[in-house]
Structure 1
Amino acid sequence: MTGIDEISADRPSVFHLFSAPLLPATLMLGGGVTLYAVETYITATIAPSIVRDIGGLELLSWMTTLFVAAAVLGSIFVAMRPRGIGLRSVYVAGALMFGAGSLICALAPAMPLVLAGRTVQGFGAGILAGLAYAFIRFAYPEPLWQKASTLYAAIWGVSTLLGPSLGGLFSEGSAWRHAFMLLVPLCVLMAALAPLLLPRAEDDRAHGKIPILQIALLLAAVLLVSIAGTIDEASSKALLIAASIVATLSMLTVERRGKNRLLPTGAVMLAKPVARVYLTMFVLLLVLTSDIYIPYFLQVLHGVTPLMSGYLTALVALGWTFAAFFSATLFGRGANTAIVAGCVIEMVAVASLTTFLATDNPSGNLAVLGPAVIGMFLMGFGVGLGWAHLVTKVLSLVGNAEQDKASAAISTVQSLGSAFGAAVAGVIVNSTGLVDPGGVAGGVSAAHWLYVLMALPGLIAVTISLTLSSPAERQAR
Structure 2
Amino acid sequence: MTSADQAAEPQSSVFQLFTPSLLPATLMLGGGVTLYAIESYITATVAPSIVRDIGGLPLLAWVTTLFVAAAVLGSIFVATRPRGMGLRGAYVCGALIFATGSLICAAAPVMEVVLAGRAVQGFGAGILAALAYAFVRFAYPEPLWPKASTLYAAIWGVATLLGPSAGGLFSQGSAWRYAFIIIVPLGLLMAVLSPWLLPKATDDRAHGKTPVLQICLLLVAVLFVSIAGTVEHMVTKAALIAVSVLSISLMLVTERRGNNRLLPTGAVMLAKPVARVYLIMFALLFILVSDIYIPYFLQTLHGVTPLISGYLTALVALGWTIAAFFSGSLTGRRASNAIVAGCIIEALATVFLATFLARDNQMASLAILGPAAVAMLMMGFGVGLGWAHLVTKVLRIVSSAEQDKASAAISTLQSLGGAFGAAVAGVIANSTGLVTPGGIAGSISAAHWLYAAMALPGIVTIAAALTLREGRN
1:161: Cα distance to partner?
1.0
Is the 8 Å Cα contact of residues 9 and 331 (structure 2) preserved in structure 1?
A: no
For residues 267-296 of structure 1, the C-alpha deviation after alignment (integer angstroms, 9 at most, x for no partner) is 000000000000010001101111010000
Which position in structure 1 is the counterpart of 2:38? 38
Which position in structure 2 is the counterpart of 1:5? none
Q: How does 1:154-165 map to 2 (within 5 A)?
A: 154-165=154-165
Q: How does 1:14-93 map to 2 (within 5 A)?
A: 14-93=14-93
Q: How does 1:250-399 map to 2 (within 5 A)?
A: 250-399=250-399
Is the 8 Å Cα contact of residues 432 and 446 (structure 2) preserved in structure 1?
A: yes
Is the 8 Å Cα contact of residues 273 and 472 (structure 1) preserved in structure 2?
A: no
1:355: Cα distance to partner?
1.3
TM-score by length of 1: 0.97
CA distance in 1, matches of 2:305, 2:340: 36
One-letter identity of the residue aligned with 2:137 = R
For residues 325-351 of structure 1, the C-alpha deviation after alignment (integer angstroms, 9 at most, x for no partner) is 000110001001100000000000001
CA distance in 2, matches of 1:49, 1:31: 27
Q: Secondary structure at the match of 1:432?
A: helix
Which consecutive residues of structure 1, in runs of 5 or more, have no partner in the other structure?
1-7
CA distance in 2, matches of 1:41, 1:370: 27
1:162: Cα distance to partner?
1.3
Flag the 1:246–1:126 CA change in 2: closer, same or farther, 3 A.
same
Q: Secondary structure at the match of 1:471?
A: coil
Runs of 4+ in 1 over 3 A off after TM superposition: none
Q: Secondary structure at the match of 1:300?
A: helix
1:9: Cα distance to partner?
7.2
Which position in structure 1 is the counterpart of 2:215? 215
One-letter identity of the residue aligned with 2:192 = A
Identical counterparts, % of pairs = 73
2:125 pairs with 1:114: no
One-letter identity of the residue aligned with 1:277 = V
1:470: Cα distance to partner?
5.4
One-letter identity of the residue aligned with 1:399 = S
Which position in structure 1 is the counterpart of 2:146? 146
* Between 234-243 and 417-426, the greater mean CA deviation after superposition: 234-243
Is the 8 Å Cα contact of residues 336 and 470 (structure 2) preserved in structure 1?
A: no
1:232: Cα distance to partner?
1.0
Which position in structure 2 is the counterpart of 1:189? 189
CA distance in 2, matches of 1:446, 1:233: 16
CA distance in 2, matches of 1:361, 1:167: 31
CA distance in 2, matches of 1:11, 1:287: 32
One-letter identity of the residue aligned with 1:263 = L
2:457 pairs with 1:457: yes
1:432: Cα distance to partner?
0.7
CA distance in 2, matches of 1:186, 1:141: 28
TM-score by length of 2: 0.98
CA distance in 1, matches of 2:402, 2:22: 24
Which position in structure 1 is the counterpart of 2:233? 233
Is the 8 Å Cα contact of residues 233 and 430 (structure 1) preserved in structure 2?
A: no
2:177 pairs with 1:177: yes
Number of aligned residues: 466
Is the 8 Å Cα contact of residues 24 and 198 (structure 2) preserved in structure 1?
A: yes
Which position in structure 2 is the counterpart of 1:125? 125
Is the 8 Å Cα contact of residues 101 and 119 (structure 1) preserved in structure 2?
A: yes
1:363: Cα distance to partner?
1.1
For residues 90-127 of structure 1, the C-alpha deviation after alignment (integer angstroms, 9 at most, x for no partner) is 10100010000000000001100000000000000000
CA distance in 2, matches of 1:322, 1:200: 32
Which consecutive residues of structure 2, in runs of 5 or more, have no partner in the other structure?
1-7
1:471: Cα distance to partner?
3.5
Is the 8 Å Cα contact of residues 221 and 248 (structure 1) preserved in structure 2?
A: yes
